[in-house]
Copies of this chain bind each other. A is one copy, B any other.
Amino acid sequence: MDTETEKLKQARDEFVAQWGALGTQWGINRTMAQIHALLMTAPESLTTDEVMEELEISRGNAHSNIKELVAWGLIRSVVKKGERREFFEAEKDVWQIFTIVARERKRREIDPALAILNRCAEESEGIATPEGKAFHAQMRSLEDFVSFASKMSDRISLMKHGFALQMAAKLLG
């Protein structure tokens, strides 16, 4: 193996390892983030066995995290003619990745928060004591804000990359 290929391998390995560590901070498990990094930087689609070997993880672990990534839409399975096993490749478009992650986070973080706030606001609706009114007002203001953030997130995700960028340029400029 020549020096250049060696250097690339090193850089890629580092990326996979570090991206995995970062995943933890993002509330994504290490392995899932590593597989994602591996596939994002793979020239060709990979099989489960290749993923297992590359990351030195068990079949069960590889399998479940691959499934999870497919469920998210961050990777997809591809069929190769004459091949019985599944191959996987990653979505590489950054805007696409961003919208997928945003959608997933909204589902896990924003939507449940909204549900709680709405319920607590309802439950405290008619309470006439000063404390009751204060609590209700607080729930409503949180609800309003989170609901607003939720709508914004949806709206931005639906944009085309170019349009969002343009929008943002105005905001930054």
Contacts and interface: CB of A to CB of B under 8 A. Distances in A.
Interface residues on A, range: 35 or more
A19 to B, nearest CB: 7
A156 B28 CA distance: 26
B8 A145 contact: no
Contacts of A22: 109, 112-113, 116
B116 A10 contact: no
Interface of A: 4-5, 7-8, 10-12, 14-15, 18-19, 22, 25-27, 40-41, 43, 92, 94-95, 98, 108-109, 112-113, 116, 119-120, 123-124, 127-129, 131-132, 134-135, 138-139, 141-142, 144-145, 148-149, 151-152, 155-156, 165, 167-168, 171-172
